[in-house]
Amino acid sequence: MRLEPPRRAPDDEQKLIVLCCLNNLGPCTELQLLQFLFEYDLMNYFEMMFALNDLCDRGQAARTKKRTGYLYAITVAGVEALSLFGNRVPPSVYALVLKNGKEWKQRFRREAQNLSEITQTDRGEYELKLRVVEQDMDMMTLTVSLPTREMAQKLSDRWPGKASKIYAEVFRMLTEPFK
């Protein structure tokens, strides 16, 4: 007989904080939500996951499978719960989420639009695939072969800040009139 560890019920305040975050940040992955919560010392991973799972079970948050994991979003029932019980979120936490949510939302959007992936080839080189994605559609994919993982990682790290300029320049060059 296999014993299951007891499931800890998440604190109502934690669930409301997660709903508040999802409402202000928009749809985000577990990692994105955790980064936000951890940055401001609001919740640890386990507390967040207990709250997310409970919110999904109650229909107040939705979990959608994506290529890179799960995307979480607040539902109509979650917005309703937040409007009824949002006053239980400490005012300082609510103000913090409102103050910083817009910046983080833009960051998450950039991350979702400018993706990179490093793989090692059979020849021992490193292939860096750089993508510009908009509404789940690849707008541009650029694959670069590099000699070292370190070089591939450096370029990958720079991609989010350069992707829109590179895309615009490639598009401009391809659409300019022939001479």
Q: According to the model, what pLDDT value does residue 9 have?
A: 44
Of all residues in the chain, the percent with pLDDT exceeding 70 is 92
64 or 107: whose pLDDT is higher?
64
- Consecutive H or E run containing 62: strand 61-66
* AA letter at 140: M
Domains of the chain in sequence order: 12-111 (1.10.10.10), 113-175 (no CATH)
How do residues 140-165 score in pLDDT, each as one tens digit?
899 999 999 999 999 998 988 888 89
Judge contact between 73 and 62, C-beta under 8 A. yes
- Across 104-138, b (16+ Cβ under 10 Å) vs e yields bbeebeeebbbbbeeeeeeeeebebebbbeeeeee
- Across 153-162, b (16+ Cβ under 10 Å) vs e yields eebbeebbee
**pLDDT classification of 49: cutoffs 50, 70, 90:** very high
pTM score > 0.75 for this model? no
